Structure 1
């Protein structure tokens, strides 16, 4: 298989995974994008990085985008080439906003764009290859499909469903100055949890998935018929977690303290991915934002992106993933 284009570009969204109870399964695509352009050349690979990761991310063959691109080319039997890459990175690194998933999805999509065939490396291939590289589909699924996603594994095969959240879902990110590796966050988790906690999380995750899909036609609580439940009340219930967040408190105490503070103030806040970013799934007023900023947090509106990764230059620029 040959390369049909030699200059292509993609953009890929940040993502937030878990969303409280949906450990390794629920995710959101966020309106914060990395943009990467590639020129296929003869010669050595070079990478220029602007923004997040500049000065620290590898600028040669060990760059994660480059590695993913090469895996994509190998997968379809396309020739390997020299790469000149320019990355405009806006997704913070090591903060639980899916920067590694974005890099992997971008690299594989760049390989698709270089080949220039809409039948090659379509969404299912991207999902599986990305999951194989990332280890879990929770971040890569929304990066590919956009919107809110439910992802799962079936004997090593990744699956994902994308839905469009209701208007009440308007995420706000609280981003700290410190980083936390996913491996350190995972190391804090126990090998086993109480059955009651697992059962509670299953119910909360199911509720949150229904809310994200707009499922709130009739809501009852206890013995009283509550009619239609508001998004806020359902989000507060649907984002409760017993499976992973509290176990990670020692690795990111400031983040869990912020989650506690926001939830006590009435906002559906969770740890974003493996942390340490905190995400409120609903708007937060200016006084709360200012208090968080005064404590050293960067506060950013990150609306849900209905678009996942897209090719912005090349013959596939008008083709859906």
Structure 2
């Protein structure tokens, strides 16, 4: 096994899962990217983090990017003698924008890029499956790796993902609150059972959302109506759900991004008047960004 000389750089996009009704199945890659740089060294482990998570995440073997890299090296069949890793993070942590999936996918892609012929040993399907296993579910890792709009799940113990089309007119505006909510807290608020009528309504909205994103954006408001998870999570993120309610009442296709508490609203271009109107609705103390849909997914630069 041969490791490449010099550093390798990988970038990976932020993602939004669920998109309203598509609980644990729909995901969308967004134009906001973390950058990871790594190289094989003679011995030891050196980790540096800038941006989101700096001073908070561990700088040892328990760092999520390092754990993902180790898993990839194990799958390839060789561990390097030493590693130097630098993470330049712009994806907010614990905000429902897929920071953990970006770390996992980025680590896997980075490790594969450090091995000569790594793509032949660990192909894309294998990377996706490994990412989904590490994350525990595929709805964020699928768009982080493949880019664009993905429909993913697990059947008979096997993870799957299918890309669906996204109308080029569609973009997103994200409203990011100053404090986060842990995914396990948000999931802990969900009931074990929901009414059959709510499940049926959610299935219909999910199907409509695939059509709306694919070329019928005029249906996005109706298509992003959720019946399964957002209302149950209100106690953990009341300000986010209040913003969703306000925006939807005024005709904007707003939803909770992933497990929250970021609010995502679909728009018609990062520089449009509609997007500017949305940006004016940003609550005091929150961050607001207009983002394009990322169609590339994770890549080695």
Q: TM-score, normalised by structure 2?
A: 0.94
| Count of paired positions | 295
After superposition, the C-alpha distances for 1:265-285 in whole angstroms (9 at most, x for unaligned) are 110000000000000012544
- Which residue of structure 2 aligns with residue 204 of structure 1? 205
- Which residue of structure 1 aligns with residue 279 of structure 2? 289
Match of 2:291 among 294, 302, 308: 302
Bigger drift between 132-141 and 164-173 goes to 164-173
How big is the shift at 1:297?
Answer: 1.7
How big is the shift at 1:177?
Answer: 0.2
Are positions 1:109 and 2:109 aligned together? yes
Bigger drift between 22-31 and 6-15 goes to 6-15
How big is the shift at 1:152?
Answer: 1.3
Q: How does 1:1-321 map to 2 (within 5 A)?
A: 1-117=1-117, 118-214=119-215, 216=216, 231-232=217-218, 234-283=219-268, 284-293=274-283, 295-312=284-301
After superposition, the C-alpha distances for 1:300-320 in whole angstroms (9 at most, x for unaligned) are 0111011100001xxxxxxxx
SS of 2:38's equivalent in the other structure is strand
Query: Structure 2 CA distance, aligned partners of 1:41 and 1:138?
Result: 34
Query: Structure 2 CA distance, aligned partners of 1:139 and 1:86?
Result: 23
How big is the shift at 1:122?
Answer: 2.0
Q: Is the 8 A contact 1:70 1:80 kept in 2?
A: no
Query: Structure 1 CA distance, aligned partners of 2:96 and 2:13?
Result: 13
After superposition, the C-alpha distances for 1:97-140 in whole angstroms (9 at most, x for unaligned) are 00000000011111110113131222211111011010110000
How big is the shift at 1:287?
Answer: 4.7
Query: Structure 2 CA distance, aligned partners of 1:261 and 1:237?
Result: 15
Larger-gyration structure (1/2): 1
How big is the shift at 1:5?
Answer: 4.1
How big is the shift at 1:296?
Answer: 2.1
Q: TM-score, normalised by structure 1?
A: 0.89
Query: Structure 2 CA distance, aligned partners of 1:251 and 1:93?
Result: 16
Query: Structure 2 CA distance, aligned partners of 1:103 and 1:26?
Result: 19
Query: Structure 2 CA distance, aligned partners of 1:20 and 1:68?
Result: 29
Bigger drift between 109-118 and 63-72 goes to 109-118
How big is the shift at 1:81?
Answer: 2.8
- 4+ runs of 1 displaced by more than 4 Å? none
**What are the ranges of 5 or more consecutive residues in structure 2 without an aligned counterpart?**
269-273
Query: Structure 2 CA distance, aligned partners of 1:264 and 1:185?
Result: 24
How big is the shift at 1:52?
Answer: 0.7
